[in-house]
Amino acid sequence: MAGGIFSPLGSCSELEKANCHPLVCLLCHEPYQHPCLLDCYHNFCASCLRGRASDGRLRCPLCGHPSVVRGGTGLPPVDRLLQFLVDSSADGEEDVQCANCDRRCAKAELDTMYFCNTCGQPLCAPCREETHRAKMFARHEIVSLSKRTKDIHKKCPLHEEPYIMFSTEKKSMLCINCFRDMQGESRAHCIDIETAYMQGCQRLDQAVMAVKELQTSTREAIVLLKAMIEEVRNSASEEEAAINSLFGRMQEQLSERKKTLLKAVQSQHEEKEKAFKEQLAHLASLLPTLQVHLVTCSAFLSSANKAEFLDLGYQLMERLQRIVKLPHRLRPAQTSKINSEYRAEFARCLEPLLVLSPRRSVVGSAGGIGPGIAGTNMLPGGQCSKTLMVPSCPTAGDKMSAGPMVRKPTMHRYISTKVLLAEGRETPFAEHCRNYENTYRMLQTEVQGLKDQVQELHRDLTKHHSLIKTEIMSEILQKSLQMDVQIAAHYSAVEMMRSVFEEVWEETYQRVANEQEIYEAQLHDLLQLRQENSCLTTITKQIAPYVRSIAKVKERLEPR
């Protein structure tokens, strides 16, 4: 039984295939001998756990959860419940003999046997009908053999008296002496055995139902996790295939661009070398001419007299001056650096393969919390705000509804705008974003204030049933209509900037993508803000008749 008990258990699939009998130890695969209960509610034999504790802790061989062990044995406490089941199972495996007719019952016929708790003897079915139906046995407690009461459960071990009561406070059975020794306050928590048994069965049924629900949820979670594992495996295969495919296409593009760049480098090399050689040949032919004229000058000065010098000297000087003024290319006409811009070329060839797909929208994907209240939306300041929603909300204006709907989250748009402004570039779009953020924050603050007021009125009307002044509803409705006009005007002003920005957006592709994304998100935020305001207006109009009705009732009641 001790062989291999220190080896860890296998995987969950191996555990499912193994014999999971509730009375068999998972380590030694034998019936439990002194079963011990760990903190994770897994049971193992005491002999299987002996020697596994370290520093007062024992790690579960099944799930690895550490359990605190106390005492010198290094073992957790014995599970009395499981020990009772093991003992009951062992008792049921023995042959039982009827105390009246001495008839022996085989193991398969134990369900037909009974037990008299009063007499303390087993009975077969015929003897129960023939002997224990008399009036003298009317008060005998006869149960099935599996539910017989053992002596240890019949009498109090302290007073040797039969149990008659049960304490719901201490969760223990009491004899008459135990009951008398109790204080008066504790006696109020004592009930008879039968009532305690019925109440215990009801509570056990409730606990069993909760465990069954947890079992169902656990099985569903296991099925879901297995499906997700398979999905992860498939996703990994698809991702590997996509990476290999993209890498292959990148290699092909890079290989082709490499050939083109090498040809360009070779062409630049040939052109520069040819130009440098031509300039070198020119300078090489100029050097002997200069040397000859210098020698000529020296010889002329040494051999010519004054008359000869004045006759030929000025002619020599003019010749030397003309030689100096000739266009001689003494400096290189170009650099020796060969520049193919290979980094930019490689990036351009990879750009079509590495363009990111548009981000998926998350706005509007969250389900509503309840009728009239939708999920929370993140504001630029990191705060959450509840949005009033009505199933029959009217749509916004035709102009705003017909606009592009790029559902970009408000928080992401806010961060992108911050990054754009942090670059410090003074562009028309940056100035537009700066003005837009100021106006949008002002509109958003006002709409949030109106939403809070309407939510408070809605709560007072539905939960507290309190009276609401009609003037407040009229004021909120008026402000809501004014906000609708302001938001529509700001939307129109932003929309009119489209043609101006479209000309700027043609300059660079990357900047165009970022600015267009922010711009469309701005329009969407305004549209969403206007829709929220429209829904708020609708709710206000719906609540207004009830407020007026309550106000009229209040006016009638005030004189009384």
pLDDT of residue 509: 59
pLDDT of residue 233: 92
Task: Give the residue with greater pLDDT, 4 vs 15.
Answer: 15
pLDDT in tens, 158-167: 887 888 888 8
pLDDT of residue 390: 34
pLDDT in tens, 123-160: 787 887 777 777 777 777 777 766 665 544 577 888 87
pLDDT in tens, 71-129: 777 788 888 888 877 777 665 555 677 777 877 776 556 667 787 877 767 878 788 77
Question: Which range is least confidently modeled, 200-214, 351-365, 477-491?
Answer: 351-365
Helix (H, G, I), strand (E, B) or coil at 387: strand
* Residue 314 vs residues 301, 305, 321, 495, 521: alpha-carbon distances, Å: 12, 14, 10, 82, 84
Question: Which range is least confidently modeled, 21-30, 380-389, 530-539?
Answer: 380-389
* Long-range contacts of 159-164, Cβ-Cβ distance < 8 Å, separation of 24 or more: 163/193, 164/192, 164/193
Q: For 295-323, what is the mean pLDDT?
A: 85
Task: Give the residue with greater pLDDT, 487 vs 139.
Answer: 487
Between CA 128 and CA 343 the distance in angstroms is 100
AA letter at 261: L
Task: Give the residue with greater pLDDT, 524 vs 123.
Answer: 524
Cβ–Cβ < 8 Å for 56, 68: yes
Q: For 449-471, what is the mean pLDDT?
A: 74
pLDDT of residue 412: 63
Task: Give the residue with greater pLDDT, 464 vs 140.
Answer: 140
Between CA 354 and CA 351 the distance in angstroms is 5
Question: Which range is least confidently modeled, 230-244, 298-312, 382-396, 437-451?
Answer: 382-396
Terminal Cα distance for the chain, rounded: 90
Q: Spell out a b/e string for 363-399, using b for 16 or more CB atoms within 10 Å of the CB, else e.
A: beeeeeeeebebeebebbeeeeebbbbeeebeebbee
* Long-range contacts of 194-202, Cβ-Cβ distance < 8 Å, separation of 24 or more: 195/166, 196/166, 196/168, 199/168
Between CA 79 and CA 262 the distance in angstroms is 80
pLDDT in tens, 233-287: 999 999 999 999 989 988 998 999 999 999 999 998 999 899 888 888 888 888 8
Checking if the pLDDT of 387 tops 60, the result is no
Instruction: Give the model's confidence band at 424: pLDDT under 50 very low, under 70 low, under 90 confident, else very high.
Output: confident
Alpha carbon 235 to chain centroid, angstroms:
18
CB 542: neighbour CB atoms within 10 A? 13
Instruction: Give the model's confidence band at 3: pLDDT under 50 very low, under 70 low, under 90 confident, else very high.
Output: very low
Instruction: Give the model's confidence band at 466: pLDDT under 50 very low, under 70 low, under 90 confident, else very high.
Output: low
Between CA 35 and CA 78 the distance in angstroms is 6
| Residue in 11, 35, 40 with CA at minimum distance from that of residue 23 | 35
Instruction: Give the model's confidence band at 404: pLDDT under 50 very low, under 70 low, under 90 confident, else very high.
Output: very low
pLDDT of residue 266: 92
Angle at 100 between CA 98 and CA 101, to 5 degrees: 75
| Residue in 86, 88, 79 with CA at minimum distance from that of residue 153 | 88
Q: For 22-43, what is the mean pLDDT?
A: 85
For the chain, what is the largest distance between any 2 Cα atoms, rounded to a whole number of angstroms?
178
pTM, to two decimals: 0.39
Instruction: Return the C-alpha torsion angle 440, 445, 451, 454, nearest 10.
Output: -130
Checking if the pLDDT of 376 tops 50, the result is no
| Residue in 115, 117, 119, 123 with CA at minimum distance from that of residue 145 | 115
Q: Which single residue is written with the structure tokens 């007062």?
A: 56
